[in-house]
Chain A
Amino acid sequence: MIGLIKKELMLLTIGGKSILLVLVVFLAIFLSSGSGEILSMVAVIMSLMLSLTLFAYDTQSKWDCYATVLPVGPKELVGARYIVVGMIWTASIIIALIFRIGLTLLPNATVGTDFAQIVMESLLPALAIAVVLAIALPLMYKFGVEKGRIFLFIVCIIPSIFIQTFLPRMGSMPEISLNTLMIILAVAGVLAVPISLWLSVRIYGNKDQFA
């Protein structure tokens, strides 16, 4: 599995350069304005993009065909991908936290200096993206990166349509505090990731990579 993780990390360092450039541009904007509430959101969305890029690399080179003859099974192949995605996700939280804390030290800072608030604002989008990733990865294994992105878009847009269209008709919207939302997302993430991993291994193991 270490070899597979090495491969993913090397591809990330090559493909991640453009993503890093985008992050630097955003950072420059936030530094000049002194505000950066959505920096956490930008960082975790980039972690999602980077994770999906790994699938694009494999599709481009037909790596999965070659992987069928390597002395590793679907558990290792999929497991390595989940570990690297987890590393990207964790890195995005750390980067967001560092920059958010850094922003509070600026003389023109407009962001709050409450540390607990900063942590919560950084973790909330990260937990939401963790759930999205847990849905996205099996979709990528099942449908490939092109079709998988479309399915992911559909899966993500359905709850938004439901909330915007049907919930207001059902009466007043329940008030949910940030703390409660974070607990809900954390529980959803903890439950979704192992199920996602199990599903991905099954999908990958049953797939004809040469089809």
Chain B
Amino acid sequence: MAHCVEVDSLSKHYRDFLLDAVSFVVPEGTVMGLVGENGAGKSTVIRLILGAIKRDAGKVKLFGTEWETRVPNAIKDQIGVVFDDCYFPVSLSPNQLGWTLSSIYRQWDSILFNQLLNRFDVPPDKKIKELSRGNKMKLSIVCALSHRPKLLVLDEPTGGLDPVVRTEVLDMFQTFMEDERHSIIFSSHITTDLERIADYVTFIHKGKIILSETKDDLLDRYGLFKGPRDQIEHIEKGDFVSVRVNRYGLEALSSDKEHTMRTYPQLICDQASIDDILYHLTSDQSRTREDVAL
């Protein structure tokens, strides 16, 4: 399978943050979800992939083409980008913005742009500054799709949206993925969105990738084990990614669900969500956490 995006040992150093040798690939026709807490480095990775900021080290290939200092315009033409905020001139209307972008993107489809505005109920003649947060985000998505890109890069596109709009937006991404040549890189805090559309999940923690694999493997492999508090005396902490104890009992994440089920039949195994895995992976590894009494 060809790779749409290849990131190899990508590094960026800021005064108070280091993105440290990040590597992953996005196969063509798949959705890669980037997950991590605030400040983990998700947006930095996305900006480096797009060439929006300069990298200190590493390589990036887009559609098989490696670039050094600047992403070639022909490649940018094939990428649709949605940032976490609306960066369009706020005094323009969506129609005026579309008119502008139609002369910037070679493959801009004005008919598609108008159809998408209509489908998402984005007022075409209202000034962008007068649009709601949801409509601004929908406009960003409409603009990202209207030049018929092969790759969508989405940085927190569903943040701050209500569940109805979020569902609409996710539906649109699923429609986009009906073409098997299309790919998406999607960063989000809302892991339920990723569970719905991602094929691969990459966890970033403090500038490092701690896990990158298919979502199905991840959800198959990991299990959330629960039991009474006193079970803490009977378990080997090394068998778990992390163990958490609170007043109601014990909760532990295992990266080998089947093995742990056989070893600890007294514990109940639940399906671990991406949220659970993220929480346990980013807490201090193999350390028992005791809840603070409030």
Contacts and interface: CB of A to CB of B under 8 A. Distances in A.
Contacts of A61: 86-90, 128
A65 interface: yes
A72 B73 CA distance: 6
B153 to A, nearest CB: 8
A166 interface: no
A72 B51 CA distance: 12
9 contacts: A10-B92, A14-B92, A61-B86, A61-B90, A66-B81, A66-B83, A69-B153, A70-B76, A210-B52
Given A10-B96, A60-B90, 19 more contacts: A2-B103, A3-B102, A3-B103, A3-B104, A7-B100, A11-B89, A15-B91, A57-B89, A63-B88, A65-B87, A68-B52, A68-B53, A69-B50, A69-B153, A71-B104, A71-B106, A72-B73, A208-B54, A210-B53
Interface string A167-179: 0000000000000
Interface residues of B, number: 33
B70 interface: yes
Contacts of A110: none
Contact of A71 (B53, B77, B89, B99): B77
The A contact surface, by secondary structure, is: helix
Interface of B: 47, 50-54, 70, 73-74, 76-77, 79, 81, 83, 85-92, 96, 99-106, 128, 153
B52 A7 contact: no
A210 B88 contact: no
A70 B83 CA distance: 13
A131 B54 CA distance: 33
A4 interface: yes
A63 B89 CA distance: 6
A62 B19 CA distance: 24
Contacts of B91: 11, 14-15, 57
A147 interface: no
A6 B100 contact: yes
Contacts of A11: 89, 91-92
Contacts of A63: 87-89
User: Which of B53, B96, B99, B104 has the most C-beta atoms of chain A within 10 angstroms of its own C-beta?
Assistant: B104
Contacts of A86: none
Given A62-B87, A66-B88, A4 B104 contact: yes
A73 interface: yes
A209 interface: yes
